[in-house]
Amino acid sequence: MSSGFGTLFRITTWGESHGGSVGVVVDGCPPRFPVDEAQIQAQLDRRRPGQSAIVTQRKESDLIEIMSGVQDGLSLGTPIAMMVRNEDARSRDYDEMRDKFRPSHADYTYEEKYGIRAWSGGGRSSARETVGRVAAGALAEGILRSAFGVEIVAWVDSVQELQCPPVSESVVREEVDQTIVRCPDLEMAARMIEHIEAVRKTGDSVGGTIRCLIRGVPSGWGEPVFDRLEADLGRALLSLPACKGFEVGSGFAGCLMRGSEHNDAYVADDEKRVFTPTNHSGGIQGGISNGMPILLRAAFKPVATILSEQQTVTVERENTTVKGRGRHDPCVLPRAVPMVESMVALVLMDHAMRQNALLIPH
Amino acid sequence: MSSGFGTLFRITTWGESHGGSVGVVVDGCPPRFPVDEAQIQAQLDRRRPGQSAIVTQRKESDLIEIMSGVQDGLSLGTPIAMMVRNEDARSRDYDEMRDKFRPSHADYTYEEKYGIRAWSGGGRSSARETVGRVAAGALAEGILRSAFGVEIVAWVDSVQELQCPPVSESVVREEVDQTIVRCPDLEMAARMIEHIEAVRKTGDSVGGTIRCLIRGVPSGWGEPVFDRLEADLGRALLSLPACKGFEVGSGFAGCLMRGSEHNDAYVADDEKRVFTPTNHSGGIQGGISNGMPILLRAAFKPVATILSEQQTVTVERENTTVKGRGRHDPCVLPRAVPMVESMVALVLMDHAMRQNALLIPH
Amino acid sequence: MSSGFGTLFRITTWGESHGGSVGVVVDGCPPRFPVDEAQIQAQLDRRRPGQSAIVTQRKESDLIEIMSGVQDGLSLGTPIAMMVRNEDARSRDYDEMRDKFRPSHADYTYEEKYGIRAWSGGGRSSARETVGRVAAGALAEGILRSAFGVEIVAWVDSVQELQCPPVSESVVREEVDQTIVRCPDLEMAARMIEHIEAVRKTGDSVGGTIRCLIRGVPSGWGEPVFDRLEADLGRALLSLPACKGFEVGSGFAGCLMRGSEHNDAYVADDEKRVFTPTNHSGGIQGGISNGMPILLRAAFKPVATILSEQQTVTVERENTTVKGRGRHDPCVLPRAVPMVESMVALVLMDHAMRQNALLIPH
Amino acid sequence: MSSGFGTLFRITTWGESHGGSVGVVVDGCPPRFPVDEAQIQAQLDRRRPGQSAIVTQRKESDLIEIMSGVQDGLSLGTPIAMMVRNEDARSRDYDEMRDKFRPSHADYTYEEKYGIRAWSGGGRSSARETVGRVAAGALAEGILRSAFGVEIVAWVDSVQELQCPPVSESVVREEVDQTIVRCPDLEMAARMIEHIEAVRKTGDSVGGTIRCLIRGVPSGWGEPVFDRLEADLGRALLSLPACKGFEVGSGFAGCLMRGSEHNDAYVADDEKRVFTPTNHSGGIQGGISNGMPILLRAAFKPVATILSEQQTVTVERENTTVKGRGRHDPCVLPRAVPMVESMVALVLMDHAMRQNALLIPH
C-alpha cells in the first residue's frame, strides 16, 4: 500500500516506466468542484520529458485521459482516475540493466526487497511514476485555489554551487517559467542553463535545491503531534525521486541563531489581524499553519544516470562495470518544480479537509 | 487521529504537559518478545527533565507503568499501554499564558485551529508529549535489536556554531553519554556545555543539529514511491518539537557534487556480499535500505521560551509583551537524542513488519 | 493495530480482563464539546458486571478516570484517554485455563495466532475489553446528540425463543431500562428474566438478538462503495464478543419479498421534506443515510462459559475435559445493549466528521 | 477514500456505470506470484451481464486489461492496475433518471450527500462498480490458493422462499456452475430458474441468500477486538450492492440454542491435530480462524429496478411517479456469487499478510 498517499484526499498511483501506462486514482475528491483538464495538462507539460534542451529527450506527449469521477466538468465526489499512455519506451537501451545494477539507482534495492524487478527503465523508481502525482496535485491545486485562494509557487533555488538570490514573496509561476531552468532570477537562470549544458556534454549530472512558497493558507491547518504540517510536507517531498533533504522556514540555518533572534513576534494590525514581522517559523508553529506564507526547501542529489563507466555488480553478485545509455536528465530540477508543487498541494488539500471535519461552526 | 503513528506497529500518545499523566498505547507489537521495563526506563531517564545542569529543572521522576499487553515479561501481541504520572506541573508559572500567546510557541496556532487550548504548560505541544514516543520507541528498539541486530545511535552534532568533528561509524551509546551534552567528541562536548551554560545565564536559548547512525538494517526494508524509508524517517523526525530540517546521506551538501562523484559504486566481496565503498546514499536507495549504515541529520531550532521581554498579542488580539517564566531548556538537544532514536526505532519496526508481510519465503 | 477503530474519530482500547486496568484513547475528538463524565459513567454502569441478578457477579465499580484532552469540561481537540482499574480479578478461578482451552472461547485461537496468551480471564477476548468502547461511545453519543440531535436506542429483542413484539419508533432508553433485562415490552421482559434465571440454575447459557433504532441521522451520512454505512455498522457490531449475525432494515426477511413490495416509495410533504412511508431500507440506501430512522439487528450466541463438563484439549494437544468455574453471564444481552449503542455512536461520529470534511457549503 | 479496501493488500476501484471504464488498482500485492489473466477473466465472466437468460441483457465483453505491476506473468510487488472498458451504456434508457429518484436506489442519497450525481445508470452505486472488486479478488484468490491451499466456494442458497438443502463441505465451483442460477442442488436450481423467469415476465424482481464456504484457512488468521475476521468479512459482504444481512457459523439460528448445545468441543486426533466435531463457530473464534471451514451467509434484497410504476419525487422534491426501463436483473444472485467469493478473498489475503507481519518464527 505504499503507492497510496493521503488520508481523506487519497491518491494511488500505478505504472512502470516502460509499461503500457502510468496513472492515478484520486479517492475522496470533494464534489462539485471544476476539474480543469487544461490546467492538469499544463502541469504535466511542465513535468514532461523533452520539453527543453536541458532535460531528457525521451519523447512523451503525456496527454491526460480522465476516466471517471467527472460529469460536465464537475467532480462527482467519486474516484477520479487519470491515465497517460507510455509512448517512447526504448527498452533496448536498457538491455544491460537486466543483468547489472546501476549505481545509486534503485535496481539493487528493489531486487533485494522483492526478489524481482522491472529491470527496464527503472520500473516504479523512475521519475515517470510522478505523472500520476502531478495530475492529482494539479487537481488539488485547482480546488485549493478556488475554495481558499491558496497559491503554490516553486522554483529552482540552486544548481550545484549556483545559488539564486532571495526571491520576492509575491513571485508567480509565470516568472518562474520565463526560462527553461525555472529560476526566476534571469541572470542566475542564464548561468544555470549554461552550466547544465556544459555538464551534459561531459555525460555527467548535477543536483540542486528547490524552494517553494505557499501563500493564502489560513491559520489552523495542520495537526499537533505526528501529522504536523511540516512533517507531512517533509514526507511528501522526501518521497520524490532523488530528494535527500528538506527544511521549513529557517531550517538548518536557524540552528545558528539564538532564541531571541529566531522567535517571530506577533503583531496585531488595526483590524486585529495577527501577523509576524519575521517568518523564521516558515508559516508553521507546532505543526499548525499560522497564516503567514509557508516556506520550504528541498535538496535533490545529482541524477544517478551518467554516461561514464562505473563499478558495480551483476545480479549474480559478480564485480563488473556499467555505463549509462538511454536518454536522461543532466539535471532533474526544472522538471521537479511541478512535482514539488503537486506534492505540496496534495498535503494541503488533505489538511484542509481534515480541518473541515472538526465540526467547528464557521 | 494525529496522535497516532505507524501502520502495523502503531502507537497513540496522550496527555497534556500539565494534565494528570502522559502515556502511549502500542498496538500491533509482535508477540513473545521480551519487554524490558528497565531498558524503557533507561531511555526515559535520558529524556527526563532535571537530569543535568544544562536542561530544564522541572522535577519529574518519569517512572513508567506498564498497564497491559505483557505477561511474565513477554509481549502478548495485544496493546501495550504505558503511562507516566505528571508530578511537578507548576501551573502558576503559566498564568500569563492564559491571556497571551508566547512567540514561536504553538499557543496561537492551537487557538486558531481549535478555538480552545490547554494554556498551561503548552498542553500537547510541550516536549512532555514525547514521553510516550520514547517509551514506545525503546520497546521497538529492543525488538529490533534482538530480532535483527539493529543498533541505533544518535548524538549532538552541533550547538549553534559549535560543530562536532566526524564520528566513527562504530560509535556506541556509552560514548555519547560520557557527557551531559551527548556529543561523543569530548573536547567539543566541553565547549558545547560551556556555551549552553553561558547562554542560559543570559536567559536566551540555542539550537543545533543531531546526527543518527543506524547499523544492521538488512537490505530490502522500506517501500517504493510514497512510504520510502527516508520519507517516513523524515516525517518522524520533523514531527518532533522544534525540528525544522532533515537530511539523509549527503543531504543538502550532496547538491554541490556531480553525479560522477556522488554515485555509490557497488562492490561484491569474496562471499558475494555487496557493499558500497562510499555511502552518499546514506544507506537508502529508491526508498529501500541497501544494507549500508543509515545516516540521518536533523535541525532543531533554538527553544522558543526565553527569559526576556518579547512583543506578542493577547487572546483578544491586542498588542502586548510577554516574558518567559517557568523552567525551560536553554538547549533541547541533549534530551532530543533519545527522542530521535525512538522515532527512528518506530519507523524501522513498522517497516520490518511490512517487509515480513510480503509472503516472501525466508 | 487491530485494537484501533475509526478513521477521523479514532479510538484505541487496551487492557486484559485480569490485568491492572482497561482503557481507551480517543484521538480526533472535535474541540469545544462538553465531556460529561456522569453520562459516560452512566453507560459504563449499564455495561457493568454485577448490576443485577441475571448477569455475572464479578464486582467491579468501573469508575472512569479521564486522564487527558479535557479542560473545564470541554474537549480540547487532543486525545482523550480514559481508564478503569480492574478490582475483582480472581485469577485462581482460572488456574485450569492455563493448561486447557475452553470450548468456543478464544483461548485456542489466540494461542494458535500468537503462541502465547493471557490465559487468566480470557485476556483481550473477555467482554471486559468493551469498557473502553463504551466510554468512547458514550462520549461520541453526547456529541452526536448535541451537534445533530441524533438519538440511539438499543434493546433486547429476543432471548432464545422469546421474541419481543414490535416496538414503537419513539422508544426511549428509559423504557428499555424499566427492567433488568432491557426489553421494553414489560410482559416479555418478565418472561425473559424468568427464563434466564432458570437457565442460570442449570449452569447453562442462552443467546438472543438486540435491535437498535437510530433517530435523527440527517440524509447524506455514509459513503459509497466500501465504507457504506451498513458495512461499517455491521463490522462494528460483529466486532463485539459473541456477535454472529447482523442485518439492516428488512435484513434476511427482506429476501422473501419481491421488489415491488420491498421498494420504499419517496413522498414529499408540503415543505418538500422527503420521506418513505415504508422503511425496508432501514434508513440507508447505497451506503448512505436517507433521513429515515436507521434500524439494525444483531445476533449474539449463547455465552461460551457453562458450568458443565465439556470435551477439549490441553495446550499439549491431549484430549481432556474442562468445566467452567468463575463468575459469568448466563445471558450477555442486557449488558450488550450499551455496547451496541456505543459501537453505533462511534461509527456515526466518524461518518459525521467525514461528511463535514467534503468542503460542501452549509 | 471510501473506494479503497484493505490494509496491506489494498485495492482502490474507480468508474461509473456509464463512464468510459471501470477498474481497480491493487497496491501491496506480494511479489513473484503468478498473475493468471485467464483466471481473472474467468471470474469476470461469471460476474458479466448477459451471461444467461436470467440476468440483465446489457452486452459487455468485460475483457480485462492489466496495465502495470506484472512482468513475464509474475507480480512485481508494485501496483497492479486493471481496467475494463464500458461498451453498451445506453444512457438514453436513463433520461428520466436525470430528474427523478428511483425508489430504493441510491439516486436520492447520492444527491443528498454530494449535491450532484452521475444520474445515468446509477454511477458508482451500480453493480458495475464490482468489476474491479472481482478482478482484484480473483488475483487474491490465486495467491491464497497457491501459497496456502485456501479454497473459496459460494453458491445461491435461496431465491425468495426457495431454499437449497444443505450442501456438502466438499462442494466445488464446478458443481455450482452446473446451472445458470449457481445453486449446486440441481432440482432446486431448476425450480429457482423457473421462478426467476416467471418473476421477470411480471417485470418484478426477487432476492435471496448466498452461502460461502472457505476451506484451508490455517488457524491463527484474523485479529482480536475490532479487526476480527468475522467483522471484516461482514463488512466486506455488506459493502456489496443490495446486501442487507450477514451471518457467520450458526448466525441468527444460533440464538435459539443453549451454550451446552452451541459450544464446539475440541478434539485432538492421533497426530495432535485439533478439530471440532461441530462447527457452530463457523471456523472463527474470538475473531481468529480455528482451522475449521469458515461458513458465511449473506442476504440480498430484491433488485430495486422493476418495470412497474412507482411513487417517487423529482430533484425539485415534487411528487411524481417513475417506471423502470433499461436492462436489469430480475435476480442479482447468480452474478453475486463471484462478488462474494472475491470480497472474501480480499479479506483473507489481507489477514494472511498481517499474520505474516508478526515476526513469528516459521
Closest partner residue to D30 (CB to CB) among B30, B33, B359 is B359
Q: Is D77 close to A116, i.e. CB distance below 8 A?
A: yes
What pLDDT, on a 0 to 100 scale, did the predictor assign at position C89? 66
Q: Is the pLDDT of residue C167 over 70?
A: yes
Closest partner residue to B231 (CB to CB) among A3, A238, A358 is A238
User: What is each CA distance from C179 to C183, C194, D38, in whole angstroms?
Assistant: 7, 12, 60
Q: Is the pLDDT of residue D201 over 90?
A: yes
Q: Is the pLDDT of residue B4 over 60?
A: yes
Residues contacting residue A321 through CB under 8 Å, at least 6 positions apart: A309, A310, A311, A312
Residues contacting residue C149 through CB under 8 Å, at least 6 positions apart: C216
Q: Is the pLDDT of residue C90 over 90?
A: no
* Greatest Cα pair distance in chain C: 72
- Tell me the pLDDT tens digit for each residue of A294-313: 999 999 999 999 999 999 99
Q: What length is written for chain D?
A: 362
Q: What is the mean pLDDT of chain C?
A: 95
Give chain B's radius of gyration (CA, Å): 21
Annotate B264-276 with three-state secondary structure: CCCEECCCCCEEC
Q: Is A81 close to D14, i.e. CB distance below 8 A?
A: yes
Rounded to 5 degrees, what are φ and ψ at D44? -65, -35
Q: Is C81 close to B21, i.e. CB distance below 8 A?
A: yes
Q: Is the pLDDT of residue D211 over 60?
A: yes
* Pairwise pLDDT comparison (A326 vs B9), residue with the higher score: B9
Å from C287 to nearest chain B CA?
24
Average pLDDT over residues B48-63: 87
Collapsing DSSP to helix, strand or coil, A230 comes out as helix
Å from B119 to nearest chain C CA?
10
Average pLDDT over residues B194-219: 97
* Pairwise pLDDT comparison (A50 vs A226), residue with the higher score: A226
> Looking at residue D271, what DSSP letter applies?
T
Task: Nearest chain A residue to B116 by CA: give it.
Answer: A360
Å from C6 to nearest chain A CA?
12
Q: Which residue in D151, D123, D27, D18 sits closest to D82, CA to CA? A: D27
Q: Which residue in C211, C173, C214, C227 sits closest to C353, CA to CA? A: C227
Chain C positions in Cβ-Cβ contact with residue D301 (cut-off 8 Å): 249-250, 254-255, 257, 262, 280
> B116 at the A interface (CB within 8 A)?
no
> A10 at the D interface (CB within 8 A)?
yes
What pLDDT, on a 0 to 100 scale, did the predictor assign at position B92? 67
Residues contacting residue C230 through CB under 8 Å, at least 6 positions apart: C222, C248, C282, C284, C287, D238, D243, D244
Q: Is the pLDDT of residue C362 over 60?
A: no
Q: For chain A, give the percent of residues with pLDDT over 90.
A: 88
* Pairwise pLDDT comparison (C127 vs A175), residue with the higher score: A175
Angle between helices B229-238 and B333-356 (to 10 degrees): 150
D199-231 b/e with 16+ CB inside 10 Å = b?
Answer: bbeebbbbbbbbbbbbbebebbbbbbbbbbbbb
Q: Is the pLDDT of residue A362 over 60?
A: no
Q: For chain B, give the percent of residues with pLDDT over 70.
A: 98
Closest partner residue to A31 (CB to CB) among C32, C78, C358 is C358
Per-residue confidence band for C55, with pLDDT thresholds at 50, 70 and 90: confident
Å from A63 to nearest chain B CA?
22
Q: Is the pLDDT of residue B63 over 60?
A: yes
Q: Is D356 close to B356, i.e. CB distance below 8 A?
A: yes
Q: Is the pLDDT of residue B86 over 60?
A: yes
Chain A positions in Cβ-Cβ contact with residue C26 (cut-off 8 Å): none
**Chains in contact with C, counting 3 or more C-beta pairs less than 8 Å apart as contact:** A, B, D
What pLDDT, on a 0 to 100 scale, did the predictor assign at position B205? 97
Query: Cell 521519475 maps to which residue?
Result: A127
- Tell me the pLDDT tens digit for each residue of A194-222: 999 999 999 999 999 999 999 999 999 99
Q: How far from each other are the two terminal CA atoms of chain A, in whole angstroms?
A: 35
Closest partner residue to B224 (CB to CB) among D32, D78, D357 is D78
Q: Is C360 close to A143, i.e. CB distance below 8 A?
A: no
Task: Nearest chain C residue to D309 by CA: give it.
Answer: C260
What pLDDT, on a 0 to 100 scale, did the predictor assign at position A59? 83
Q: How far apart are CA D27 and CA D45, in angstroms?
A: 24
Per-residue confidence band for A95, with pLDDT thresholds at 50, 70 and 90: confident
- Tell me the pLDDT tens digit for each residue of B320-346: 999 877 677 899 999 999 999 999 999
Average pLDDT over residues B173-193: 98
Per-residue confidence band for C74, with pLDDT thresholds at 50, 70 and 90: very high
Give chain D's radius of gyration (CA, Å): 21
Q: Which of these ranges, A302-316, C142-156, D83-97, has the smallest mean pLDDT?
A: D83-97
Closest partner residue to A67 (CB to CB) among D15, D116, D123 is D15
Q: Is the pLDDT of residue B163 over 80?
A: yes
Q: For chain A, give the percent of residues with pLDDT over 70.
A: 98
Closest partner residue to C81 (CB to CB) among B23, B74, B79 is B23
Q: Is the pLDDT of residue C243 over 70?
A: yes
- Cα C205 → chain centroid: 19
Q: Is the pLDDT of residue C88 over 80?
A: no
Q: Is D76 close to A114, i.e. CB distance below 8 A?
A: yes
Q: How far apart are CA C78 and CA B361, in angstroms?
A: 43
Q: Is D225 close to C300, i.e. CB distance below 8 A?
A: no
Chain B positions in Cβ-Cβ contact with residue C122 (cut-off 8 Å): none
Parallel, antiparallel or unpaired: strands D267-268 and D309-313:
unpaired
Q: How far apart are CA A188 and CA A190, in angstroms?
A: 5
Closest partner residue to C103 (CB to CB) among D1, D115, D263 is D263
Collapsing DSSP to helix, strand or coil, A253 comes out as helix
What pLDDT, on a 0 to 100 scale, did the predictor assign at position C150? 98
Å from A357 to nearest chain D CA?
14
Chain C positions in Cβ-Cβ contact with residue A356 (cut-off 8 Å): 356-359
What pLDDT, on a 0 to 100 scale, did the predictor assign at position D122? 86
Q: CA dihedral in degrees (B300, B302, B305, B307; nearest 10)? A: 160
Q: How far apart are CA C56 and CA C205, in angstroms?
A: 12
Chain D positions in Cβ-Cβ contact with residue C5 (cut-off 8 Å): 226
What pLDDT, on a 0 to 100 scale, did the predictor assign at position D326? 66
What pLDDT, on a 0 to 100 scale, did the predictor assign at position A90? 65
Chain C positions in Cβ-Cβ contact with residue A360 (cut-off 8 Å): 30-32
Closest partner residue to A356 (CB to CB) among C77, C224, C357 is C357
User: What is each CA distance from C165 to A321, C168, C177, C197, C331, in whole angstroms?
Assistant: 82, 10, 17, 21, 20
Q: Which of these ranges, A33-47, C81-95, C193-207, has the smallest mean pLDDT?
A: C81-95
- Tell me the pLDDT tens digit for each residue of D327-360: 778 999 999 999 999 999 999 999 999 999 999 8
- Tell me the pLDDT tens digit for each residue of C307-352: 999 999 999 999 999 987 767 789 999 999 999 999 999 999 999 9
What pLDDT, on a 0 to 100 scale, did the predictor assign at position C93? 67
The topology under which CATH files domain B4-358 is: Chorismate synthase, AroC fold (3.60.150)
Per-residue confidence band for D93, with pLDDT thresholds at 50, 70 and 90: low
Closest partner residue to B359 (CB to CB) among D78, D224, D356 is D356
How do the domains of chain A map onto residue ranges? 4-358
Per-residue confidence band for B145, with pLDDT thresholds at 50, 70 and 90: very high
Q: Is B239 close to A226, i.e. CB distance below 8 A?
A: yes
Which of A:293-332 have CB within 8 Å of C?
Answer: none
What pLDDT, on a 0 to 100 scale, did the predictor assign at position D1? 81
Q: Is A352 close to C359, i.e. CB distance below 8 A?
A: yes
> A62 at the B interface (CB within 8 A)?
no
> B220 at the A interface (CB within 8 A)?
yes
- Tell me the pLDDT tens digit for each residue of B6-26: 999 999 999 999 888 999 999
Q: How far apart are CA D168 and CA C49, in angstroms?
A: 42
What pLDDT, on a 0 to 100 scale, did the predictor assign at position A92? 67
What pLDDT, on a 0 to 100 scale, did the predictor assign at position B115? 96
Per-residue confidence band for C87, with pLDDT thresholds at 50, 70 and 90: confident
Q: Is the pLDDT of residue D58 over 90?
A: no
- Tell me the pLDDT tens digit for each residue of D312-323: 999 999 999 998
Q: Is D359 close to B356, i.e. CB distance below 8 A?
A: yes
> D85 at the A interface (CB within 8 A)?
no
Residues C230, D238 contacting (CB under 8 angstroms): yes
What pLDDT, on a 0 to 100 scale, did the predictor assign at position B362? 55
Question: Which residues, listed in sequence order, are joined to residue D175 by a DSSP beta bridge?
Answer: none
Q: Is B357 close to D360, i.e. CB distance below 8 A?
A: no
Q: Which of B7, B8, B32, B78 to mutate to test the interface with C (most CBs of C within 10 A)?
A: B78
Q: Is A112 close to B220, i.e. CB distance below 8 A?
A: yes
- Tell me the pLDDT tens digit for each residue of D214-269: 999 999 999 999 999 999 999 999 999 999 999 999 999 999 999 999 999 999 99
Q: Is the pLDDT of residue D90 over 80?
A: no
**pTM for the full predicted model:** 0.98
> B289 at the A interface (CB within 8 A)?
yes
Phi-psi map region of D359: left, alpha, beta (phi>0 left; psi -120 to 50 alpha):
left
Q: What is the mean pLDDT of chain A?
A: 95
Q: Is the pLDDT of residue D362 over 60?
A: no
> C103 at the B interface (CB within 8 A)?
no
Closest partner residue to A147 (CB to CB) among C143, C357, C359 is C359
Q: Which of A80, A355, A358 to mutate to test the interface with C (most CBs of C within 10 A)?
A: A358
> Looking at residue B117, what DSSP letter applies?
-
User: What is each CA distance from A68 to A86, A314, D68, in whole angstroms?
Assistant: 20, 43, 19
Q: Is B225 close to A265, i.e. CB distance below 8 A?
A: no
Q: How far apart are CA B326 and CA B306, in angstroms?
A: 10
Q: Is the pLDDT of residue B89 over 80?
A: no
Q: Is C359 close to A8, i.e. CB distance below 8 A?
A: no
**Chains in contact with B, counting 3 or more C-beta pairs less than 8 Å apart as contact:** A, C, D
Amino acid at A191: R
Q: Is D79 close to A12, i.e. CB distance below 8 A?
A: yes
Q: Is C209 close to D125, i.e. CB distance below 8 A?
A: no
Q: Is B15 close to C113, i.e. CB distance below 8 A?
A: no
Closest partner residue to B160 (CB to CB) among A232, A255, A280 is A255
